[in-house]
Structure 1
Amino acid sequence: MLNKLILLPVKGLITILPFAITIYFLVWLVSTTEALLSPFLPEDYYFPGLGVVTVILALTAVGILINAYLFNWVILLGERIFARVPVVKTLFGAVQDAVELFEVKPDEDSRKAVSVEMEGGIKLIGFMTSDKVANKLFPDEDKVAVYLPMSYQIGGYTLYLPREKVTPLDIDVETAMRIAVTGGNSIEKDS
Structure 2
Amino acid sequence: MKRYFVTGLLIWVPLGITLWVISTLVGAMDGILLLLPEGSRPRDLLGINIPGLGVIGVVLIVLLTGFLTANILGQRLVKFWEDILNRIPVVKSIYGSVKQVSDTVLSDSGNAFRKALLVRFPHNEAWTVAFLTGTPANEIAKQLDGEHVSVYVPTTPNPTSGYFIVVKKSETIELDMSVDEALKYVISMGVVSPTPKLAALLRPDPANPNLPG
TM-score, normalised to structure 1, is: 0.72
What residue identity is the alignment partner of 2:155?
M
Contact 1:114 1:167 in 2 (8 A): yes
Q: Secondary structure at the match of 1:129?
A: strand
Give percent identity, aligned residues only: 21
The structure with higher relative contact order (CA 8 Å, sep 6+) is 1
* Match in the other structure for 2:182: 176
Larger Rg: 2
* Match in the other structure for 1:163: 169
Alpha-carbon distance change, 169 to 66 in structure 1, aligned in 2, over 3 angstroms: farther
Contact 2:85 2:95 in 1 (8 A): no
- How many residue pairs are counted as aligned between the two chains? 180
* Match in the other structure for 1:23: 19
Q: Which has the higher helix share?
A: 1
Query: What pairs with 1:144-155 in structure 2 (closer than 5 Å)?
Result: 144-153=149-158, 154-155=160-161
TM-score, normalised to structure 2, is: 0.66
Deviation of 1:177 (Å)? 1.7
Give ranges in structure 1 of 5+ residues lacking alignment. none
Alpha-carbon distance change, 147 to 101 in structure 1, aligned in 2, over 3 angstroms: farther
Tell me, yes or no, if structure 1 residue 65 matches structure 2 residue 71.
Answer: no
* Match in the other structure for 1:13: 9
What residue identity is the alignment partner of 2:65?
V
Contact 2:86 2:96 in 1 (8 A): no
Alpha-carbon distance change, 110 to 57 in structure 1, aligned in 2, over 3 angstroms: closer
* Match in the other structure for 1:130: 134
Deviation of 1:162 (Å)? 1.2
* Range moving further from structure 2, 46-55 or 143-152: 46-55
What residue identity is the alignment partner of 2:4?
L
Deviation of 1:125 (Å)? 0.8
Deviation of 1:15 (Å)? 2.2
Deviation of 1:126 (Å)? 0.4
Q: Give the Cα separation in 2 of the matches to 1:180 and 1:168.
A: 16
Q: Give the Cα separation in 2 of the matches to 1:110 and 1:36.
A: 31
* Match in the other structure for 1:143: 148
Q: Give the Cα separation in 2 of the matches to 1:22 and 1:148.
A: 25
Q: 1:53 aligns with which of 42, 52, 56?
A: 56
Q: Give the Cα separation in 2 of the matches to 1:95 and 1:41.
A: 31
Alpha-carbon distance change, 152 to 6 in structure 1, aligned in 2, over 3 angstroms: same
- Cα RMSD, aligned residues only: 3.5
